[in-house]
Structure 1
């Protein structure tokens, strides 16, 4: 009995210890749960860099940068996106190349460096300079404004972070104007109503992270900002003429006071003063050239604020090169897409010189165009454009919108040379058979001084004007090889065919037919393959392209 009593006491004592231990464990677990539920969520922000915009599902005019993401392969070199050509004066034209900047930025006024990339898809990323200010605005799951925080690049993950209640959803909006001095104050309205007015001349960048669930403890948010406006740098290369001593320029359309909707980054374009929508700033975005008196000058980078739905124009109210001042020089039809960075290079070259296959004559920079709406004559902006089609000995072109099978003075103007109608009057004329024969002979095979490499072939090259299928085919004169980046310094005749008798539209686009004058009649010069450089009779019912020659080169 005594031994049994002792065992019973020991059992009861052990049982009590087990119960106490279990109670302690559950008590500690409950305390842990309580502590975890009371722990704050800390959100730490890091700026990973900046993305340049890319096309998304074919949309190129979206004003919502948050939804622009790459869906196509791109390469990481600077991409030529546009080539233009405009006349400068009677002896020179301007070849314009516009490239989208993808390589590292070397200009002294640049604040960005490119992040090394080994991928071939997606937007190009750039580092943001240390010291640049940015702002973070926080909204709750209902879209109500909570608070905003100003940070500086270089303190990427502040130790304190942003303190929030855990296990809830928040939306974070981050923006910057790439300035070390300031960042715009945040509106305190709800997310769907929040409007941020900004200066259209600054580099506004935007990022949004919607409905992010934060947990107790540390939560990291990596931010990749996107440009909202276009950026462009202009280079003028006037080595063919002389030093650029003065230049004022602007890009239009441009809006000085855009408003940003913080819920999606979309832009409302307002006029200067912000009083109404849809009317751009009259002065445009002003282009400054800090270092003049050089043959090659580079502008400061500027921002262009428009939605990209229509083309832009670079205008020079005046530009002085080698003591000669030109007024109102226009570079039209520039395609600028929001969020992209561009370099526009202007190369001034002589047109029609012997070095580019022109035979010594000053040919017009493009084919002749007649504008019926204002009864004016001008030249096409590039050598690839077809221009208008003229009957022999008539000053107005064949009309395709009405019956105009045979020419007459009522529809097709007076008899004479259509080139003479370009202002100033009688300063241009049709080329002669003798002049075109001289070009033919100077680009023939087996001639003295043949440029090579194959002396048995003509010094001509047939290709599209810009090297892609986006422009028409034609013949380059003065080279046997693809001229590559020098292609715009060569004489080029585009293959716009002709409009034959009884036809109501151009045909024979594998050839180029140009109206010329012989000593006794009108003829046409025919271009085809490199060996096709022939002269044919110009029938009076047929209409041809026209390339003019300067009367006094």
Structure 2
């Protein structure tokens, strides 16, 4: 009996040992493991600007899942915007402008079998384009503690020439991508705590270049991992297009220089927070570069992209100098109140329409001490223009029962109850820094002090001179003041009624000439 018990016990022991060995063998060949060396290869997929529901870039690998990825805080939901306006260039030339986010090259964000999945409800159009081959960029790696680990420099289209990062599987790292969109230089990371590089103290300092960035935190797995990089522009870019309507005629024959404002002298990008800190405003603005105009002129002139280093701005101004359109020249022509946001790419299209026009009911007038003046403009399908030769010191106008301004347009300071609320687009004011007080300025038919233009679509615009005989420059409401311009109803086929009024604050006078504008057939 004992013999059988010993045999049974021995048999059980052999079985247990066999099961243990089989178990160990199975674990030793298990293909799923987070530990061990992790190679990270970089794959640059695209470059993007402003996006809607931006899908994250992804790190892909044989064992990664959506749980491995941490979404960057830079993803935002934004909508494509367009700003429209019209401005008089001369009596017979009007600029119809649009400032629109560029959508050329936009593509639909998508995922595939090796990329991280994301809900289809988050899919949206994104403005992505391939990075120009040969463009240089860097990828810096930081441990979960924030400590700097490694950095490589890559060339777009030649990523395979750079050795892969070798890191620890199962560990989390943050990858930072930086580029100046250049084939010769790359950004330099500076650390505020000298000698100890950390994510929270790293930055690209005092840059003036086209900075592009990428940030992603990922938990790696042992083996091969691929880091899909999508660089994102930090600053705004504007391409300006001057266009002559081909159905009307006319050409652009000269422009000496141009600039756009506001822009800053430099900016600093913090790696950890992704915050951008801007330096002081540039006193010279950012140069807008146009190509040489061919002999005989051109009907379209497009600038090189203009880089603007600025936070959100609603007071952007484009200045065009010595611009000649169809024989009419402007020493300085300003496009004010442009809305520009960082990270976006814009097309600023300025369409110059140069119809032949004639005056309708041109009337010279003068009113004093609060008296009003009425005009009619029948059949003025191109709007209404009023030139003021004398003004002391405010006015308003009513067009077809709608006032052109929310309050009295006041040009003089220190008037009780009626604060100054109008200025030149560059911030200049009457009575300061060499500009005469408005009541001391004397204009004429060829050189009015103030010009008010009502476009055929009912938009209101004002221009003024800083000196007698100087160029007409755009006027805008003072920011934070009590003045806004209203759109009015303008009857292009019927009659229009116009009334000019003044609030009495001491001696008042308004004098000049008003006339409707009608499009006619050109004689040549």
TM-score class, shorter: 0.5 to 0.7
Q: Among 312, 324, 349, which residue is 1:308 paired with?
A: 312
Contact 1:236–1:345 under 8 Å retained in 2:
yes
Match of 1:267 in 2: 276
In 2, Cα distance between equivalents of 1:55 and 1:117: 10
Match of 2:299 in 1: 295
Match of 1:87 in 2: 88
1:254 aligns with 2:260: no
What is the CA distance between 1:13 and its match in structure 2? Answer: 8.7
Contact 2:394–2:503 under 8 Å retained in 1:
no
Q: Judging changes above 3 Å, is the alpha-carbon distance between structure 1 residues 34 and 353 closer, same or farther for their aligned structure 2 residues?
A: closer
Which range moved further: 237-246 or 347-356? 347-356
Q: Among 212, 220, 225, which residue is 1:214 paired with?
A: 220
In 1, Cα distance between equivalents of 2:442 and 2:502: 26
Contact 1:42–1:164 under 8 Å retained in 2:
yes
In 2, Cα distance between equivalents of 1:539 and 1:283: 39
SS of the residue 1:53 aligns to: strand
1:137 aligns with 2:146: no
Match of 2:404 in 1: 386
In 2, Cα distance between equivalents of 1:217 and 1:280: 49
In 2, Cα distance between equivalents of 1:47 and 1:159: 13
More helix by share: 1
Contact 2:153–2:162 under 8 Å retained in 1:
no
What is the CA distance between 1:54 and its match in structure 2? Answer: 4.9
1:164 aligns with 2:164: no
SS of the residue 2:444 aligns to: coil
Q: How does 1:441-456 map onto structure 2 within 5 Å? A: none
SS of the residue 1:128 aligns to: coil
Match of 1:180 in 2: 183
What is the CA distance between 1:286 and its match in structure 2? Answer: 1.0
- Give per-residue Cα distances to partners, 1:87-135, cap 9 Å, x unaligned: 323443322211111133xxxxxxxxx4356998454333323332221
What is the CA distance between 1:84 and its match in structure 2? Answer: 2.4
Contact 1:254–1:305 under 8 Å retained in 2:
yes
SS of the residue 1:143 aligns to: coil
Q: Among 198, 201, 210, which residue is 1:193 paired with?
A: 201
More strand by share: 2
1:53 aligns with 2:53: no
SS of the residue 2:200 aligns to: helix
Q: Judging changes above 3 Å, is the alpha-carbon distance between structure 1 residues 323 and 510 closer, same or farther for their aligned structure 2 residues?
A: closer
1:549 aligns with 2:507: no
Match of 2:77 in 1: 71
1:425 aligns with 2:429: no
SS of the residue 1:172 aligns to: strand
Q: Among 138, 149, 152, which residue is 1:149 paired with?
A: 152
SS of the residue 1:353 aligns to: strand
Q: How does 1:213-232 map onto structure 2 within 5 Å? A: 213-232=219-238
What is the CA distance between 1:214 and its match in structure 2? Answer: 1.6
- Give per-residue Cα distances to partners, 1:479-531, cap 9 Å, x unaligned: xxxxxxxxx7x46377xxxxxxxxxx99xx9976xxxxxxxxxxxxxx6x899
Contact 2:36–2:223 under 8 Å retained in 1:
yes
What is the CA distance between 1:302 and its match in structure 2? Answer: 1.6
In 2, Cα distance between equivalents of 1:171 and 1:385: 58
SS of the residue 2:255 aligns to: strand
Q: Judging changes above 3 Å, is the alpha-carbon distance between structure 1 residues 247 and 95 closer, same or farther for their aligned structure 2 residues?
A: farther
Equivalences, count? 410
Contact 1:244–1:296 under 8 Å retained in 2:
no
What is the CA distance between 1:255 and its match in structure 2? Answer: 2.1
Match of 1:233 in 2: 239
Contact 1:230–1:340 under 8 Å retained in 2:
yes
Match of 1:44 in 2: 41
In 2, Cα distance between equivalents of 1:69 and 1:369: 54
1:345 aligns with 2:349: yes
SS of the residue 1:254 aligns to: coil
